[in-house]
Chain A
Amino acid sequence: MMSRFRLSGTALWSLTFFACLALVLLAPLLPWIAAFPRDLQLPLADWANLVLNPVFSTLQPLGRGFASGIDIPLRWLRDFLLFVPWPAFAFLLFLIALRTAGPGFAVFAMVTQIYIVGVGYWPQTMNTFAIVLLSLPPAILIGFALGAAGHRWPRLEGPLTALLDLMQTFPAFAYLIPLLIVFGFGPAAGMIASVIFSIPPMARNTIVGLREVPVVTLEAAVMSGATPTQLFWTAKLPAAARQLLVGVNQTTMASLSMVIIVAIIGGFNDIGWEVLSAMRSAELGRSLLAGVVIVALAVTLDRITRALATGSPNGVQLLPDRALVAVLGVVLCVAVVLRLALPGLDLLPPGVGFATAKALDAQLLDFVRWSDPFFSALRDALNYGVILPLRIGFAASASPMVWGFTLQPWMIAVYCIAIAGTALLLIRRPGWAFLALFAGLVCYTGLARFPWPCVMIIALLGAAQVRGLGLVAVVLIATLMILLSGMWQPFVQSLYLTAIAVSICVVTGGMIGIAAAENDRVSRIVRPINDTLQTLPQFVFLIPALMLFRVGEFTALIAIVLYAIVPPIRYLEHGLRGVPGHLTEAAVQMGANRWQLLRDVKLPLAGPAIRLGINQTIMYAISMLVIAALVGTRDLGQQVYVALGNANSGLGFVSGLSIALLAIIADRMLRKR
């Protein structure tokens, strides 16, 4: 049964390969193969606008009313946060950090507060914090309700998971357009975008938490005579509490990340806007200072909420928790009273930050100038060695313009022999052999000129083999939509940006992960860096990339790599360290050396973790595409960004949906059933 399936798979893939080869060879003769005919393209974006715009304008009065309703508590909260003198706030944070995450972190939190005040970003930080604070309760409640519903009615779980996937992969910039139309320019639209984006982690953790309550706990409750309602509230919920708090932590971080991103709307004087405007006016110093504030805010929020979830062993309990809450309340009240009594007392130092930023600017420029030869070389190497060949192919790269020589027939012959040889060497593992063949074909023409029917056939066949008809339908819809709307070229750009970023991440991240798994010291160094990288809002990664490489596709690539490198490190280390001790012991006893142990025992056993890591890397990379478009790409992300600029819901919808479907397809393909 199994072998027959494989045989037919091999036959199918061989057939596909020769079909693709034929198409590649025919492409110069038949232009419709090389590029999807313009006559067949449909104005999908305009059609979407025809449907969407009336809906949005109908919703507009409602949305505007809602927005002004939301503005009131938001303004109130913001004013309040700014009204409380910052030392009181810093002291409160210190107490909370001390109780939850321990003295070391409490000091860190205190220092970061002083830093924020010192560089003059206290008001901006509080503005950002206000939106996060206000968007958290709805996100947590809705996420919890969705998760509980998905748990209660298992039939809902499938559609719910699809919806959550869509909410997380649909680029925020794309749904920001309708939100802006409906709710108007202002923080309300940003807040709602942040709520939408931060619901999924809460919902997912709720489902997982409720599902993983031990059966015996439930049986004990049922046998104690619990009604279904009692079962939920007295047994399931408390037993799932930790996982729910993990959800709160992830939701908080997602919310912060999105609040920073939607600063692009402008007009709220928050810290994200500060970074964005600094980047736009190329003030490196200012963007770096503000970026550090975001990092500090993210790390603080993450550590405190995570400590609440996992119960950090470092937490110091000076007072019973109730007394602590009382103390916090008293401090806050005293601070407010003081401020009322002394109206001028905001204790913020004037104008320090600006001078610092200017000074830093000059130094950074010096550094950039000094390091330019190195980074330019790196950029050129990657550009001409990897990016360009992958885009325009071996055939076109071998030209005087790019590689400095002209393509000769013997080179093509060598190339073909090399590819065929590789495939022959891998003949015992047909999957890898076919991968080599197709990679050879793609590298020859370049992704941009790889015939679109080939991409379609390969994707459809892959989808059919991995997941079956459901995914085939998704792939078909996605490819047709992209082709018909004329976004094939941007899509291909996205594809190759993602492919290069993921390859770089998997190779370098994988090596770091192996090193961290094999060496405790490396692990100790890498872990906190990973922790920090993973809590940072996506936006922050643009700052160093932009600083060192200036605007362009390569900068976008670097930003994507910085953001997406954590999962391969994490999952590889986790997978390798998770190999049961008795198996490695058995292998060592049989005389395996370190390399054999890694190759034959650890890596195969870590397979599922590695696959999950690659999956996560792809998800991260795709979600970063749109953000990276800010520094200049020509991919789908740029389409979304353009749509946002023109308030073109239709274009935003089509290009956003394309990205979301790309992510979902990649995810389903890699997640074996």
Chain B
Amino acid sequence: MRPSLAAKPDPQPVKIACRNLWKIYGPPLKRDLAPVPGADPEDFAQALRATGRIPALMDASFEVHEGEIFVIMGLSGSGKSTLIRCLTRLIDAEFGEVRLDGEDLMAAKPRDLINIRRHKMGMVFQNFGLMPHLNVLDNVAYPLKLQGLTRSKREARARQMISLVGLEGREDALPHRLSGGQQQRVGIARSLAVEPDLWFLDEPFSALDPMIRRQMQDEFLDLQRRLHKTIVFITHDIAEACRLADRIAILRSGRIIQIGTPADLLLRPADDYVAKFTADISPSSILRVGDIAEPGQDTTGAREVAGDLPVEALLADIATGTTNFSVMPAGKYGGGTLSAAHVLRILARQNDGTDGP
């Protein structure tokens, strides 16, 4: 595999990380049944299955950096909900570790865990999880009420959040009176009410109509530009993952089979499974110029473009005869050179989707 030009080491500190995480369903584990460090996880999984247990999550490891949008993507039954629930400790993993700000989250006592959830974590759910008996205002203020804030304080804060998601005027409505998109806005406002650093979103837009989904994705990106949260986002939709993610982890049958930027997945899929996923994605909108630039400083007569420009922005130039581009470093994207032929080759190869690099 070629080293990615785009992936510069992320300077941000790690916010949450998990290492060798296992979640196992079925009969209680016996003491002698444990994964061997360094061994193939599949061996242990086989041992589990042979004894009637189901490994829902196998040996998951990754780090999420501050301010990053980390998307976990997989089909239903792939273990993505299990994974996010292990990270939040809504369920407890059998093996491995989860670290939040360097602290061992698995060892946190119930009281500490409650405090962490009250101040550091926010979560949005696929089916919204709104309290059916509370109106919009009380739903958003609910986490603050649990903390024991006075009514005036928590309502003031809740109103701020409601205006942040654009639901002013619906404060008194009960959840069942709202559309799906509105309900999820309430869910988002509630999860942000405690000003968490770490924001979990469990398929937040999957229950919405496609049009609404697209709009909510834009609003979500807009919010993130203002709030700079660390985000773990679950989805089963590869297009959504590519649109939103800084990095994506692909989960299949409980195992993470690739972690990388959307460009990594498109250009360098780890296996056919990933390649099949990305086959339907239009690469020209996902890839940035910096993702596909080649090393070199050949600037003669080349048109200068910024590295963070989407590749599709070059198509007009290519159509009018530009053959060489000089890529300027921008943001996390590096510089280099790029020929029109290379651009077209990449787009064509990706669109075939059959023969990966």
Contact = CB atoms under 8 A, between A and B. Distances in A.
B127 A216 contact: yes
Q: Which of A217, A219, A223, A239 has the most chain B CB atoms inside 10 A of its CB?
A: A223
A225 interface: yes
Interface string B127-140: 11111111000000
B123 A239 contact: no
A212 to B, nearest CB: 13
A230 B147 CA distance: 10
A230 B126 CA distance: 23
Nearest to B200: A223
A223 B87 CA distance: 12
A278 interface: no
A310 to B, nearest CB: 15
B128 A239 contact: no
Interface stretch (B113-121, B240-248, B312-320, B332-340): B113-121
A234 B142 contact: yes
A238 B126 contact: no
A405 B200 CA distance: 84
Contacts of B194: 224-225
A222 B132 CA distance: 16
A216 B128 contact: yes
Contacts of B146: 221, 224-227, 230, 234
A241 interface: yes
Given A225-B146, A225-B194, A227-B114, A220 B121 contact: no
B93 to A, nearest CB: 16
B125 interface: yes
Nearest to B122: A223
A219 B129 contact: yes
Given A235-B131, A241-B133, A225 B125 contact: no
A225 B147 contact: yes
B121 A223 contact: yes
A154 to B, nearest CB: 15
A533 to B, nearest CB: 33
Contacts of B127: 214, 216
A241 to B, nearest CB: 7
B23 interface: no
A225 B131 contact: no
B278 to A, nearest CB: 30
A220 B115 contact: no
B90 A216 contact: no
B257 to A, nearest CB: 27
Given A216-B129, A238-B131, A239-B133, A223 B142 contact: no
Contacts of B129: 214, 216-217, 219-220
B88 interface: yes
Given A216-B127, A224-B142, A239 B122 contact: no
A238 B175 CA distance: 14
A230 to B, nearest CB: 5
A223 B133 contact: no
Contacts, number: 70
B190 interface: yes
A225 B118 contact: yes
Interface residues of B, number: 31
B52 to A, nearest CB: 16
A239 B131 contact: yes
Contacts of A226: 114, 146
Interface residues of A, number: 18
A29 B117 CA distance: 79
Contacts of A235: 131
A220 B125 contact: yes
A35 B80 CA distance: 66
Contacts of A221: 131, 142, 146
Interface string B159-196: 00000000000000000000000000001001100100
Contacts of B191: 223
Nearest to A224: B143
A210 to B, nearest CB: 15
A219 B90 contact: yes
Contacts of A214: 127, 129
Given A225-B114, A225-B115, A225-B117, A220 B130 contact: yes
Nearest to A241: B133
Interface string A232-244: 0011001101000
A168 B187 CA distance: 43
B131 A217 contact: yes
Interface in A223-276: 223-227, 230, 234-235, 238-239, 241
A224 B191 CA distance: 8
Given A225-B117, A235-B131, A238-B133, A220 B123 contact: yes
A222 B117 contact: yes
Q: Which of A221, A224, A225, A238 has the most chain B CB atoms inside 10 A of its CB?
A: A224
Contacts of B200: 223
B344 to A, nearest CB: 47
A223 B146 CA distance: 11
Interface in A552-570: none
B120 to A, nearest CB: 10
A267 B190 CA distance: 60
A37 B191 CA distance: 75
B126 A224 contact: no
A569 B102 CA distance: 63
Contacts of B119: 225
B114 A223 contact: no
Nearest to A223: B123
A224 B190 contact: yes
Contacts of B85: 219
B298 to A, nearest CB: 53
A229 to B, nearest CB: 10
A220 B139 CA distance: 10
A220 B132 CA distance: 12
Contacts of A220: 123, 125, 129-131, 187, 190
Contacts of A241: 133
26 contacts: A216-B125, A216-B127, A217-B130, A217-B132, A219-B90, A219-B123, A220-B187, A220-B190, A221-B142, A221-B146, A222-B90, A223-B88, A223-B121, A223-B122, A224-B146, A224-B190, A225-B115, A225-B143, A225-B146, A225-B147, A227-B146, A234-B142, A234-B146, A238-B133, A239-B133, A241-B133
Shortest Cβ-Cβ A-B pairs, 5 listed? A225-B118, A220-B129, A224-B143, A216-B129, A223-B123
Interface of A: 214, 216-217, 219-227, 230, 234-235, 238-239, 241
Given A219-B85, A220-B130, 17 more contacts: A214-B129, A217-B132, A219-B90, A219-B129, A220-B123, A220-B125, A220-B187, A220-B190, A221-B131, A224-B190, A224-B194, A225-B114, A225-B115, A225-B146, A230-B146, A239-B132, A239-B133
Interface of B: 85, 88, 90, 114-115, 117-119, 121-123, 125-134, 142-143, 145-147, 187, 190-191, 194, 200
